[in-house]
Amino acid sequence: MTVVTTELLRRLDVSGPRYTSYPTADRFVEAFGEEDYALALQQRRVGSVGKAMPLSLYVHIPFCQSLCYYCACNKIITRHPERAEEYLRYLSREIDLHTAHCGVGQHVSQLHLGGGTPTFLTDEGLHELMAMIRRSFTLVPGGEYSIEVDPRTVDAARLAVLAELGFNRLSFGVQDFDPAVQKAVHRVQPAEQVFSLVQSARDLGFESVNVDLIYGLPRQTPESFDRTLAQVCELRPDRIALYAYAHLPERFKAQRRIITAELPMASAKVSMLARALELFQGDGYVYVGMDHFALPEDSLAVAKRQGRLHRNFQGYSTQPDCDLIGLGVSAIGRIGATYSQNVKTLDEYYDAINQGHLPIARGLALTKDDLVRRAVIMAVMCQGEVLFEPMEEAWLIDFRSYFAAELEQLQELAEQGLVDVREDGIGVTALGWYFVRAVAMVFDRYLQANRNRARFSRII
């Protein structure tokens, strides 16, 4: 097991993108609109990619019953379930607008329901949503069909409904088991409840159960987080996602309810991360990368070992690099060499669909340079290696000439033991894998050009 020192964690604790895409979403422009997106869908329909490669689907359910103060997601707080009923009717119409361009029955190998709280939907609502998806798309056997779950909104019977609907992966939002921390972020859920739900999920045969944790929350201490980490190891989920809390109250209104004085110091956050890295790996988890851990037999860990990791807007995936259709308010998609994002408010979303328009707010058509850099950054993020010759053959470039400035910058990371720059390529070291974002950032032309990183979360 590679030892990551707190000193190194502190030194490399800078702001940077998570690279679920390149270019990153802050580069999207309003000049890219509905017509551009519709053209990309049509080109997929008639091209060889649309016939050969399955799709990924993301559906955004924005509703939550209560506000979690740390949340930076696009959400709507309501206790009126009828609002979701109306939303589902518009989702159905948005799906129809898509299939008018890309055709009915396209194969889907990955489906993810996010939010908000997808389990805000009633059982009837979930049945309706899955029926409309299956009516328009073909969910292929062996795909990843996942849903984010707020433990406070489900019981064993509801999990059985999710299994019946075809979901095979669950992601439970835990964040922290400490009652004082839960109270400070307005998300109280007893540990016993989560333990019971995870056991029910196992009994029901779900292929993978993920638990989300956040460090850096108010009232957290290294000692209190140690207790949460020990409980998570006892729970032993298949996957763990460990995120650093980014306190940006000027951007996210909900975070203004957090008492700044109760936030842990930077040194305490680093200590929490270092302890989590040590404990999870000591307990048998594989560090997949970018905050993600998985048991050795989990498909994500297997993909990491076999060099088959991929990365999209939902994070690391075992599914091949494929087009993504985003449905619902604020959802982001990728079709061919384009990215797109839907409008962010319900009023805008409903208005666009009422007028018969795809609700695209902004997007981006990638240039050749964007595509070359995306290939390099994703190779860094997923395989931890960039081989010069395959990149040169694929993109008709001389790698050392094209990336001369970047290779020079990498020397500093090489001196720190994070990368090896060889004659045939670049390799991320075992130590460097913990700071893979810092390696990828070297190849980000936009980031290097403006140096304005305040909009991004910190690496640590």
Phi/psi at 195 (5° precision): -60, -45
Annotated binding site for S-adenosyl-L-methionine: 58, 70-72, 115-117, 148, 175, 187, 212, 246, 332
Q: What gap in Å lies between CA 167 and CA 321, rounded to an integer?
A: 21
The amino acid at 192: E
The residues with which 419 forms a beta bridge, in sequence order, are: 428
Distances in Å between the Cα of 411 and the Cα atoms of 245, 398, 415, 422, 456 are: 30, 19, 6, 11, 24
Q: Write out the DSSP string of 43-94.
A: HHHHSHHHHHS-EEEEEEE-EESS--TT--S--EE-S-THHHHHHHHHHHHH
3-state percent helix, strand, coil for the chain, nearest multiple of 5: 45, 20, 35
Tell me the residue ranges of DSSP E strands in 347-424.
Answer: 360-365, 385-387, 419-421
Dist. CA 70–CA 186, nearest whole Å = 9
DSSP-derived letter for residue 29 is B
Binding residues: 58, 64, 68, 70-72, 115-117, 148, 175, 187, 212, 246, 332
Query: Torsions phi, psi of 235, nearest 5?
Result: -65, -40
Amino acid symbol at 45: R
Give the up-direction half-sphere exposure of residue 66: CA atoms within 13 A in the CB hemisphere. Answer: 12
Angle separating helix axes 266-282 and 222-235, nearest 10 degrees: 20
Helix (H) and strand (E) counts in the chain: 18, 19
CA angle 225, 230, 232 (to 5 degrees): 95
CB 331 within 8 A of CB 58: yes
> How many Cα atoms occupy the beta-carbon half-sphere of 301 within 13 Å?
16
Return the closest-CA partner of residue 316 out of 216, 239, 404, 405: 239
Specify binding-site residues for [4Fe-4S] cluster.
Answer: 64, 68, 71
